[in-house]
Structure 1
Amino acid sequence: MNYRYVIFYKPYNVVSQFSGDRPSTQNLVSQPSQPSTRRGDPDQPPSTLKNFISIPDVYPVGRLDRDSEGLMLLTNHGRIQHRLSHPRYGHPRTYWVQVEYIPSPQALEQLRRGITIRGYRTRPCRVTQLEADPPLPPRVPPIRERRAIPTAWLEMTLTEGKNRQVRRMTAAVGYPTLRLVRVAIAHLSLGALQPGEWRELTQVERQALLSL
């Protein structure tokens, strides 16, 4: 079987699924010479992955919420989908998280150690406060801004992916999430991709993925 592995920079207001008819396999190029740059319109109903990705029969490994952005991996390789989705394997996922207010050292330590959300205790994770805003393209539409309330950026690396987990974690310690961007899954990273762009993995990336 010809396995395909794609990384995609999901923009805001895009749902992590294909809906309706899948793209036809006719007139498809096996790999784009340049990344796709189709973008969703934030003033319209949410786009789906079908609006961006023209490869048939690949499916997302995990998901990102409609209001989250960043790296998604898509493949038609069932073993890799299972390996990266099943909680027992605990592969790392790294996020840049913009929160309201400046988190206290105590709040950061709470996040690192794990907190209880809806009866579930989160696993310990890595959390650091970034010294400067990360090099991200502007979000469309931009986040709400209130002059009297400062914001901060955190880098959080989790080994689990419960529904809206990062948002619920930061809210539980008193710092609501304003913007959430996944920048890495295991050894895969966004690199030079821009929102709405995708590319197939390099040979080196595929080999590292298959060795997990």
Structure 2
Amino acid sequence: MKASSIHRHFVIYKPYGYLSQFKSHDSKQQKKRFLGDLFDFPEGIMAIGRLDEKSEGLLLLTTDGKVSDYVNSQKVEKEYYAQVDGDISIEAIEQLKSGVEIGFDGRKYQTKPCKVFKLNDIPELPIRSKKIRDDRHGPTSWISVILKEGKFRQVRKMTSAVGFPTLRLVRVRVGNILLDNMQVGDVVEVGGFLR
């Protein structure tokens, strides 16, 4: 039997408010929620490309470090739907496409060119556990951001840099794997992906 055949892979819908780790390594995090609270994952499982605590959506998990390295190698597209504060302008979208300056690791970082477009309709997503402000407090708009890099809180920092802070962020695609009709907290074991 090949070693690769014993690896296990999962697709999950990470809920808002969960950390992309499996248990606490810090006494300050005792009240936090972790991926290990959703399912009894196997030993050696790792998240491929994390989502921060306030972000939600598609997260791939694997016990295969080679698969993790490949997905994180900037060869695989990741698509996010971001609900932003305000009616985003064409100028802001063009800035996002060509790259903006954000802070990363205490230094300035220029994001790589990416694909960004405004969604004409509000995407059909599960209701988030924590309410998002409604349009009585001003308009919001939704955009799709497709990139191959993944710095910490990158999409949030990018939309803030152009004056439209992110209110809700949902990853909907990694490569050819889609969030589709998954519901918050769903865990699906798959035979493999991105090979």
**TM-score, length-scaled by structure 1:** 0.81
Identity within the alignment, %: 41
Distance 1:162 1:150 in 2: 28
Out of 63, 66, 83, the residue aligned to residue 53 of structure 2 is: 66
Distance 2:135 2:171 in 1: 24
Out of 148, 154, 170, the residue aligned to residue 165 of structure 1 is: 154
Mapped pair 1:10 → 2:7 = no
Stretches of structure 1 that go unaligned for 5 or more consecutive residues are 22-43
Query: How many residues are matched?
Result: 182
**Alpha-carbon deviation of 1:170?**
0.3
Partner of 1:105: 90
Mapped pair 1:80 → 2:70 = no
Q: C-alpha deviations, 1:71-125, integer Å up to 9, x for none?
A: 1000001111111123xx3311000000011111111000000011132110111
**TM-score, length-scaled by structure 2:** 0.88
Distance 2:161 2:80 in 1: 17
**Alpha-carbon deviation of 1:20?**
5.3
Question: In structure 1, the residue corresponding to 2:130 is in which secondary structure?
Answer: coil
Mapped pair 1:151 → 2:140 = yes
Mapped pair 1:127 → 2:127 = no
Question: In structure 2, the residue corresponding to 1:155 is in which secondary structure?
Answer: strand
Cα distance, 1:133–1:163 mapped onto 2, change above 3 Å: same
Distance 1:105 1:14 in 2: 33
Letter paired with 2:72: S
TM superposition outliers: structure 1 runs of 4+ over 3 Å = none
**Alpha-carbon deviation of 1:146?**
5.3
Question: In structure 2, the residue corresponding to 1:107 is in which secondary structure?
Answer: helix
Partner of 1:195: 184
Question: In structure 2, the residue corresponding to 1:156 is in which secondary structure?
Answer: strand
Mapped pair 1:51 → 2:21 = no
Q: CA RMSD in A?
A: 1.7
**Alpha-carbon deviation of 1:184?**
0.5
More strand by share: 2
Distance 2:38 2:147 in 1: 27
Distance 2:101 2:172 in 1: 25
